[in-house]
Amino acid sequence: MNRLHRQPICVASALMVPMAILATPPWFGLDGVPPCWVVLWLLPWALVDGPVSGALAGLALGLVLDGLTLDGLTQVPGLLVLGWWWGRLGRRASPVQRSFNLGLLALLGTGVLGLTMMLQLLIRGGGVLEPSVQAWGFHTLLCQILVTGVLAPMLVSFQLLIWRRRVPQ
């Protein structure tokens, strides 16, 4: 495991995620749906620092974000799996550097996170969702996937550039 998690400035950058979620204006998205800021932060973190640190960062951010919403749904399982998976990708394969690959990983991660949330809604609803909730959920998920996929190549590439320079190989 690298030493990114031991640098206070990098760990403090995780505080930007809840602030970005709360401060995102409605026009900064698609049809009022903002990007998935947690995916845009977790992806480069896990790629640089590894699977254990990625999973722990996903767990911590999930708990913080769950504390913001208090609606009974949790982001922890999705973020935990994504942090572990992206950390393993960063360790086993050649370094992910191309913007298209980063956008695709963020797009897939947003989809996985959104589907875990919809699965929880389905379980909580007794296996049946109203058609209006289904339509709303898929519309929101599609908008968030698209916005995150468009922003990821720029933001994640920038974070990877900064964080890879801070970590001795």
Looking at the 3D structure of the chain, how many domains does it have? 1
Distance CA(125)–CA(120), nearest Å, equals 8
Structure tokens at 121: 């809604």
Residue 167 near residue 2, CB atoms below 8 Å: yes
Residue 154 banded pLDDT, cuts 50, 70, 90? very high
pLDDT tens across 6-43, in order?
Answer: 777 777 888 899 999 999 888 888 888 999 999 999 99
Query: Residue 11's pLDDT is what?
Result: 76
Query: Residue 116's pLDDT is what?
Result: 93
Structure tokens at 63: 């708990």
CA 17 to chain centre: 10
Least confident of 44-48, 74-78, 96-100: 96-100
Angle (CA) 116 48 86, round 5°: 25
Residue 113 near residue 36, CB atoms below 8 Å: yes
Residue carrying the six token digits 């190989």: 169
- CATH number (domain holding residue 39): 1.10.1760
pTM metric for this prediction: 0.89
Residue-number span of the structural domain to which 110 is assigned: 4-166
pLDDT tens across 3-14, in order?
Answer: 766 777 777 888
pLDDT tens across 70-94, in order?
Answer: 778 899 999 999 999 999 987 776 6
